[in-house]
Structure 1
């Protein structure tokens, strides 16, 4: 899911938080990896302005995800760094509205038709990319997957994930192992 890939550009590591979008090179690499979904050219190169706008949007989407997982806890590692809910909602909606999308039918000579979305109006790369990210967030938050959206409860983890089965508690096996090890350590230290 594009939205989860997007908000996962900030994550916790053993040495502290890691932000894939902390510089123009990281934004360029991430944009190129998601070029088709974002409507970017294959040779896309980010600017500092685009990077800042994308990071601002990411934080707004993270704030909306934090609200979506309620009454469960949001990611405790970054909840204090997120903008307010109303401000985040306004930014996501305004960003999606800046480049309205229209459906487009693609039908290759050899193959089945597919549907996609294209900008309904001419727009620059930055606006197209941010609108695609905002639209993907709106689709996730208004769709059926919102009910399975969770914040990983593992120590220091800042990731959100869609719960794929009833016993899934963490975003990854690694986070599950860290959480169990931390619980074991607390139990033996206090016991």
Structure 2
């Protein structure tokens, strides 16, 4: 999975709950277990515990704070606007998580030559997971896709997305529909 998709998927574990609030797909270890197994098959039969859940949630908070910085001068996601980590703390969390598992380059040559980074030594699965996610976040935030990052400002949406088309304003068509309906109601309400 590309770094940008993995990092967006992590950020999108905070979402609108359909009832005016915010839901957290990583509220419990079971949610993290499902999320990891769907996106990182290389983690095998990963089973999250409380320590893994806490470290991934702390990393996600750092990633969302840095996403808010990346979308400036635009506004951050409404889910983050009041509770963003200070930038130095977000950077420190991200860098500490990435450094949690030292890696070495490994070169293999089957049909085609392949270079990849692998852990230098066996690592605790929870630490390895946060290191993988942190490195993906660093790769995304330092790469060209960062310029396409936007916060969706449709009513009740808290998602970040990559702007793939010059006229794209929302993360998905349903958000565009909600925004248009809200504008219509605002224009046609009594006293407006």
Do the two structures share a fold, i.e. TM-score over 0.5?
yes
- Two-structure CA RMSD over aligned residues (Å): 1.6
Q: Specify which of 39, 49, 63 is matched with residue 34 of structure 1.
A: 39
Q: What's the counterpart of residue 19 of structure 1?
A: 24
Query: Does residue 7 of structure 2 align to residue 3 of structure 1?
Result: yes
SS in structure 1 of the partner of residue 77 of structure 2: coil
Would you identify which runs of 4 or more consecutive aligned residues in structure 1 move more than 6 Å? none
Q: How far apart are the structure 2 equivalents of 1:107 and 1:45? A: 32
Check the 8 A contact 2:26/2:32 in 1, yes or no: yes
Q: What's the counterpart of residue 141 of structure 1?
A: 141
Report how far residue 115 of structure 1 moved. 3.9
| 1:119-148: CA deviation from partner (whole Å, max 9, x where unpaired) | 123311011100111111111111001111
Report how far residue 29 of structure 1 moved. 0.6
| 1:8-43: CA deviation from partner (whole Å, max 9, x where unpaired) | 01101322211110011111111111223xx412x1
Q: How far apart are the structure 2 equivalents of 1:20 and 1:107? A: 39
Greater shift in the superposed pair: 11-20 or 166-175: 11-20
Check the 8 A contact 2:22/2:79 in 1, yes or no: no
Q: What's the counterpart of residue 98 of structure 2?
A: 96
Report how far residue 113 of structure 1 moved. 4.2
SS in structure 2 of the partner of residue 98 of structure 1: coil
Gaps of 5+ in 1: none
SS in structure 2 of the partner of residue 89 of structure 1: helix
Provide the TM-score with structure 1 as the length reference: 0.90
| 1:65-116: CA deviation from partner (whole Å, max 9, x where unpaired) | 00000011111232212211110011001110121333334545xx544443
Q: How far apart are the structure 1 equivalents of 2:22 and 2:67? A: 19
Residues 186 and 44 (structure 1), Cα distance of their counterparts in 2 relative to 1, 3 Å cut: same
5 Å-filtered alignment, 1:118-133, equals 118-133=118-133
